[in-house]
Structures are given as structure tokens and as C-alpha cells.
Chains A and B, each alone.
Chain A
């Protein structure tokens, strides 16, 4: 298993504060970074009979570890989430349903235009049943290898045997490579915020730990207040929101664009790095602006230890509009308070990797299963998507979008001495194939949901 910043810095718990997180009540998959490598399955169910649904939820508890009991040596890990429609299907009272935020009640498909999911990414083109009211329960089953995932999923399937009112309607297998690289070839999953009271240090020692309420309901957030929480307390407390998106990656288009706009192979790698903000190894441009440094990329104690404002305000090392700088501007001067828009992001590959050197699309569906975790769908996920990914005004470049995951059709400026490079007409490299807004209840809430009819 890859040594992570969490393991290395565990003795120096920089998250210890007055905050006491009820770790025994949080699902472990919420806060803990995933092990590496791993294999997983996302499985979606439709609840046709509330009673069966509640029993199913109750049975899932045996496979869900709490954050207090999380172990890197576990055989497998399960996280359970529900959509608004799923909570309705379980028979959650309407007053409780109404206490959820509007975005969650709407569901992701209804907010597609806001999110930039238009054209090929529009819900009309999503993989069924994603984006429909039938998506009720979404599980993420993760394990170090395929056989253990298979065992876990098999056990869950077996537990559903006498529950005809719960139907599996979608499944997506996924995986994280030993290299931790995603389909475009970049090491992923490097940046992780420290959360007060969690015992999980962040990956950037220069980033102050975040208030627990940014990621878990029932605790003070960075505004100094309790974030909105669904009612009753037992349902909302220690829960959080999860955004799931299946993102198709057009690897061939990405490679072709680099090839067409680069001087040579080395320049292709540099261009790719400028898009992302890191070299493929994970080494950040901010620390290694001229060439890749695989040792740096592999070093969890160093590969995220940087800021922007003092060292690189103009983006000469890491372009201001590059992907990682949009996802987390750190201390750079952008419109917005970065502390209010931090996200826990997880990404997992699906589909076959395109062999290195292949330039033509083979028609395979490949990409990333993206997951966001946070206490506010709108202030965190939707804000970053609408204000920092598909809008460049916050960065002083209104015509530009995120070059890697943005909607495309726009320029991308790369500050360069002596003359800046400006690429035009970037294609859209990432297309949304589906997604949903989900709620990850606490372990207490899962029990409450299972006992609704009593």
C-alpha cells in the first residue's frame, strides 16, 4: 500500500482542536482517503417497497465501519448513500424531506444547465438510469483487490435475496491503479484537506485544518455557524453530502490536441502539465516548473506542500487557470474566500486504460467516477463547478474555463517568458455521463431509517 501523508504524519495530529468529532457515528468512507491501489464497485438500487428498503438499509450496517474503526487492513470498505427520491421511497416523513436543501431535493439532472452539463453532457445523454428519479440507494464498495470487492458485493446481493422490493438498477466497476493515475495519465488523489477533530492530517502542511462543519453536519463550519442540517437530528447529524459523477474522458482527443499544439514530445508533456498544474508523476509545477520529478511526485510529504501567492502570483510556474489551481486556489488572489469552497474529492478509473502512444479513439467508454464529499452542495461543489471551473471571471480571465474538465470552446493562457502562450479553441475533453446528489447518513441515521416503520 502506498505510504500516504496520513500515515507519515499520524503522530503529529495537526487536526487536534477543541472539536470532538463523533467518529464512531461517521461512515468511515466519508473522511478517510482511500487506500492504494484499490478496486471498487458503485451499485445503485431502486426501492419499490419501503419496508424492503428499510430492511436493506438495516442490513448494510454490518459492512459499514465507523470512522473510529477504520483500518487500512480491512478486507473491504462500504459507504452507503441515499438520494432525495431514495429517502422518499423509504418513507421518510415529508417534513423531514422538506428540511433537506433545495439542491439535494432537485437532484443533479435538474441543475444540469447551472452545472454546465449541456450538449453531449446533458442529462438526455446520460447513461440510464442516472439522472432519473429511480436512483435511490447508491453504494460504494472498495477493496484492495477484485476478489474482495466481489465477495463484498456478493454478500450484499445475497442479503437482498428476500427483498423483492429492492432492485439493483446500475453498477459501475472501477479501480485505482498502483500508479494512482487516471485516464489522461496523471497521478490523482493527491490533495486532501485536514479536518479538525478527525485525526486525519491533510496533505498540505501549509494549509490550516478546516472546521469539521465544512465536511460533516452538526459541527461549526468556517463561517463559525452550524451548517444547515436535515431534521430530525438523528438523521442529519454526522451525515454529509456526496456528489457522484461519471465522467467520460476523451483520451484520444486530449493526446491529439497536445500533439497538434506542441513543438515536440517534451513540449507535449509540458503542455499537459500546464493544463493540470502537475506533471504526470504528480510533481507540482509550483515546485518543479521545468521538468517532471517522479521522486517528488511520489513523495506524499512534499508533493502537495506549496502555495501560490508569494512564489507564483502571475502563474509563470503553475498557470492561474490550470486545473488544480481552479480546484483549490490556496492563497492565490482570486474572487472568493478559498476557505469556504474546499472540497474532499475522490476519483476512480472506469473502463480500460488507453495504451500509451495510441492516438485514435477506440470507442471504449473510459473515464473517472468522481466523488465530492462536503457539508454544502452549493457552497462547495456547485460553487467550484460554476464559478471556478466553467467561469474565468474569478481569475481575471472571463473567456477561459478549466482546460481539463471545463466545457471547452475557449482559450487557455499559459504565462511564459518571454512571450505567453495562448491556446485557442480547446475541445471538451470530459463529458458527463451521469451523476446524482446523495446524502451519506451517519450510522445512527442508517439505523433510524431502517426502523422507520417501527
Chain B
């Protein structure tokens, strides 16, 4: 039977907001690994990370995902899930479930004591509640390139590639002498 779920939350006083630096926000959550489940969790994390590594660029962009790590610590009894997004994470929780599939999330969450038994029958809210139950806002968060989104960084990479192509031209140094092109000329030396 379909279950009535609760609402996506775009951000209220009760939301589990992470720390921000520029356009990036972080989520760090800590869970207890079920006794005897550590190796199974490692396998599930491998699968989840492999899915991320193999996901099309387009899908990762739709997640707004900058990075994600799973850290098993405390003698294999605890899990730290840490990730950062180009947006706040909470408004997109349903999106991440629908686009990636709740089964993939459940594959590793199921090895945590805090995971509800009926997780697969529920929608994005339990994922949000689950994360918030283990979430601790970072006391400090630093991102090296904090003011640029992935699309902007990809654009910068395309521009660099285009400049490289220009610089390969024999007449490049002559063409770049025009005053309007001085900023490019200044980047041409290395």
C-alpha cells in the first residue's frame, strides 16, 4: 500500500543546514554501523561510489554534487558520510532519491543502526530525517574554489583549452599584442 509521506523542506528554522563557503554547502552525518555489518557496508559503499564514478556528467550536475566520501572509523563501528553540494542540500533531497534511485541509498544506509526498517517504502523525507538525525554542522568549512560552480569551472577548462589552441598558432604572439587582448597575453607565458 502506498504510504503518505511528508514534505520536502526548502529550509526552515528546524532544517539541518550545513556550513557554507561561497556557493558550496556541506553535509556531515555520523551513524552507528550495525554489529557484524562493517564488511557488507564496505561493499555497499564500493557499489555506491562506483555508481557515482560511472554516472554521466549530466547526472552529477543534476545532483549539484561537488564531492562525497564515506569514512568508516572507530574500529569499524561508525560511519561518517560527508558531502558537499553547489546548492543547499535539503531542497534537493527528493531529487537525489528520484534521480539516483532509493535502492542505491538503501544499499549502504541499511547497514546503519539508525536506518528505518521500512526505508524502501518511503520517499525523500525519511532520507532527510535520517541524515538530520546524524548530521552535525561543520564547525569550519573551507573550499579552495568556493565561488565557482562546476559549470563555471568546466567553462574555465574549455576556455583554457581554447587558449591553448590559440597559443599553438605561430602568429599567436603577434595577434595577442592588441591592447584588448592583453589579459590573454598575460596568461600566455605559462
Contacts and interface: CB of A to CB of B under 8 A. Distances in A.
B83 interface: no
B63 interface: yes
Contacts, number: 111
Interface of chain B, main secondary structure: loop
A223 B5 CA distance: 10
B152 A396 contact: yes
Interface in B95-111: 95, 97-99
A102 B5 contact: no
B61 A333 contact: yes
Contacts of B63: 335
Contacts of B147: 398
Given A114-B11, A386-B91, A335 B5 contact: no
Contacts of B7: 101-103, 228, 376-379
Interface in B114-165: 122-124, 147-152, 155
Contact of A393 (B5, B64, B97, B122): B64
Nearest to B61: A333
A337 B95 contact: yes
Nearest to A314: B155
B91 A387 contact: yes
B80 interface: no
B62 A397 contact: no
B86 interface: yes
Contacts of A339: 98
Given A334-B62, A387-B91, A394-B64, A228 B6 contact: yes
Nearest to A114: B11
Contacts of B152: 396-398
Given A336-B95, A337-B94, A340-B95, A383 B10 contact: yes
B186 interface: no
Given A379-B7, A383-B8, A386-B10, A220 B2 contact: yes
A382 interface: yes
Nearest to B59: A333
B5 A228 contact: yes
B4 interface: yes
B155 to A, nearest CB: 8
A393 B99 contact: no
A340 B98 contact: yes
Nearest to A231: B4
A391 interface: yes
B23 interface: yes
A227 interface: yes
A340 B58 CA distance: 17
Nearest to A391: B87
A442 to B, nearest CB: 16
A364 to B, nearest CB: 34
Contacts of A283: none
A167 B131 CA distance: 47
A226 B62 contact: no
Nearest to B100: A337
Contact of A229 (B4, B8, B86): B4
B98 A337 contact: yes
B12 interface: yes
Contact of B4 (A228, A335, A395, A398): A228
B14 to A, nearest CB: 8
Residue of A339, A376, A378, A391 with most chain B CB atoms under a 10 A cut-off = A378
A268 interface: no
Contacts of B12: 102, 114
A376 B123 CA distance: 14
A376 B9 CA distance: 10
A375 B4 CA distance: 13
A337 B62 contact: yes
A225 interface: yes
A397 B152 CA distance: 7
A222 interface: yes
A334 B87 CA distance: 11
B10 A114 contact: yes
A102 B13 CA distance: 11
Contacts of B150: 396
Closest 7 CB pairs of A and B: A396-B151, A335-B64, A379-B8, A337-B95, A398-B23, A225-B123, A226-B4
Interface of B: 2-12, 22-23, 58, 61-64, 86-87, 91-92, 94-95, 97-99, 122-124, 147-152, 155
Interface of A: 101-103, 114, 220, 222-229, 333-337, 339-340, 376-379, 382-383, 386-387, 391, 393-398
22 contacts: A102-B12, A223-B97, A225-B5, A227-B4, A227-B5, A228-B5, A335-B61, A335-B62, A335-B87, A337-B95, A376-B8, A378-B10, A383-B91, A386-B11, A387-B10, A391-B87, A393-B149, A396-B150, A396-B152, A396-B155, A397-B149, A398-B86
Given A223-B123, A386-B91, 8 more contacts: A223-B97, A225-B123, A333-B62, A334-B61, A337-B94, A383-B10, A398-B23, A398-B148
